[in-house]
Structure 1
Amino acid sequence: MRLLTRYGEVEVHTLPGLLKVSGPTVRRDLALMEEKGLLLRSYGKIAAARQGAEMPVSFRHARNTEAKQRIGALASSLIPRRPLTVALSGGSTVRFVARHLAGRPDLTVVTNGLDTVGSLLSRQLVRVVVTGGQARPLSNDLVGRGAERTLRSYRFDFAVIGVDGISPEKGLTRHSVRGADVDRAMLEQADHTIVVADSSKFGRVHRAKIVDAAAVHTIVTDSHAETTTVAKLRERGVTTTLVVVPPRAPEAAPRTG
């Protein structure tokens, strides 16, 4: 999916060498990804089904892992060590925030993220409240009126959410309208708001707006974030903190025909 995002289309016969897997594995996985609507196959090539399509969270977990780990560690350090009630969304970056908070017996965490729940329960110290709602398979979180009702019955000291797009002009956005509604409820019920997002989300705009960028207090990202966007966010009063990550290794270009 990363190759398709960058190059648009790729010749299938180049994939075993690029991905270091067998031909049968490539064919099996491409068939599964086509069933999920992630790509199109024709005449020995594959192409993204549609530009900017949302990838399942299971794919996103493996992307920019080093940046997400460091973002999670820094964001969790912003939450003081005292009894607090915290809201956490779902998402691959918030999962790392949850891992760092899992050893905090002073916290009550309310979340709609099913992966977030697993990370919080790893040490069985945090008091965890899971919202109601309908499961959304692409993001592995709970959405809908049940989730929103649970969130609006609380007042949070901190809310930490992940997003799919960050733009100083267009605000914070997600692929899913229902997901954006839940994130907005978290932010509106919180005294302090934190957005965690790796640099690949900067400059992107998706169909579902959560809030204006200036409506949140802090954004934590990585050092590859576009400097112009970071400067504009800071001009709007958003504390934008960058964690240092190593330069990305160059990626071999596939044959695209």
Structure 2
Amino acid sequence: MSDTSNLLAEQRRALILDEVRRRGGVRVNELTQRLNVSDMTIRRDLDALARTGAVEKVHGGAVAPGAPLAHEPGFEAKSSLEPSAKHQIARTAAALVTPGSAIALSGGTTTYALAQQLLEIDRLTVVTNSVPVSEVFERARRQGTGAATTVILTGGVRTPSDALVGPVADRAIRSLRFDLLFLGAHGLSAEAGLSTPNLAEAETNRALIESARRTVVVADHTKWGVVALSTIAPLAAVDSWVTDPGIPAAAAAEARTQLRELLIAD
């Protein structure tokens, strides 16, 4: 969007509605940046659109009417979203890992990108409930590339995003302890914390958090303000969030009030 600070309310709301229809949802903090108006103005616009049934308000923004909070995209569908941002995040997150560590990687396409950055780090033990993540290390082992890595795949029931969840996964995770957890998330918000569309995955991710000395969320800027069906944990349970430079200044400021540390990849 170009300079829109002088738009009439009707014009501004038409632009907002177009964004909702095109993307499936919008966030207040993004709209304040794009439209160069206050948070209160955007919230009034969303209230007006919600009264007509054009949008449905959710924490931090609005979605198309009837948009399912329980919708879970598959791994391949998510892989095509924000690939450059995921690469930046992965490189920054990999710098947090020291040789000889025991780390955990949850399911997700950003943790998959991170796994590829960890192949040269010596003597890692990697616990994961992600089939694609485990395959990154297995492929390197078969090809004789990368450092020697011990991989523990938790077992469990496979989700559409290729994560293993459920009681088998939860028991395996709770029997282990690791130095560092890298956790993907469907959404982060000040009100709902970390969330995911999958109830069982939320429970498995809680087990990962409980078993980690330090939890680092790896998620691109589009995840801020998104709320899914099931809350994993409040933002207070997160030690760091690594995101990309695409995060709007207002969103970064809000995140810093909720998180212990915000790391923006460069």
Structure 1-normalised TM-score?
Answer: 0.73
Q: CA RMSD in A?
A: 2.1
* 2:222 aligned partner: 200
* 1:151 aligned partner: 173
- Aligned with 1:123 (options 122, 140, 152): 140
Q: Deviations over 1:23-42 (max 9, x none)?
A: xxxxxxxxxxxxxxxxxxxx
Unpaired segments ≥5 residues, structure 1: 9-46, 245-257
Aligned partners of 1:237 and 1:48: how far apart in 2? 31
Partner of 1:78: helix, strand, or coil? Answer: coil
* 2:155 aligned partner: 132
Q: Deviations over 1:57-98 (max 9, x none)?
A: 1111111100001101111111123x1111111110000111
- Aligned with 1:77 (options 74, 95, 108): 95
Unpaired segments ≥5 residues, structure 2: 1-18, 25-63, 142-147
Aligned partners of 2:192 and 2:23: how far apart in 1? 26
Aligned partners of 1:50 and 1:242: how far apart in 2? 30
Aligned partners of 1:4 and 1:133: how far apart in 2? 36
Partner of 1:105: helix, strand, or coil? Answer: coil
Aligned partners of 1:236 and 1:135: how far apart in 2? 32
Q: Across the two proteins, how many residue pairs are aligned to each other?
A: 202
Partner of 1:123: helix, strand, or coil? Answer: helix
**Cα offset for 1:55?**
1.5
- Are residue 65 (structure 1) and residue 87 (structure 2) matched? no
Structure 1 contact 105–127 (Cα < 8 Å) conserved: no
Report the CA distance shift for 1:51/1:6 in structure 2 as closer, same or farther (over 3 A): farther
Structure 1 contact 172–209 (Cα < 8 Å) conserved: yes
Aligned partners of 2:218 and 2:263: how far apart in 1? 10
Aligned partners of 2:241 and 2:222: how far apart in 1? 14
* 1:188 aligned partner: 210
Partner amino acid, structure 2, of 1:166: L
Partner of 2:92: helix, strand, or coil? Answer: helix
* 1:90 aligned partner: 107
Report the CA distance shift for 1:105/1:166 in structure 2 as closer, same or farther (over 3 A): same
Aligned partners of 2:112 and 2:138: how far apart in 1? 12
Q: How does 1:173-184 map to 2 (within 5 A)?
A: 173-184=195-206
- Aligned with 1:6 (options 12, 18, 22): 22
- Aligned with 2:126 (options 109, 133, 136): 109
Aligned partners of 1:123 and 1:104: how far apart in 2? 13
Structure 1 contact 222–242 (Cα < 8 Å) conserved: yes
Partner of 1:140: helix, strand, or coil? Answer: coil
Partner of 2:226: helix, strand, or coil? Answer: coil
* 1:217 aligned partner: 239
Q: Which runs of 4+ in 1 moved over 6 A?
A: none
Aligned partners of 2:87 and 2:23: how far apart in 1? 27
| Structure with a larger share of its residues in helix | 2
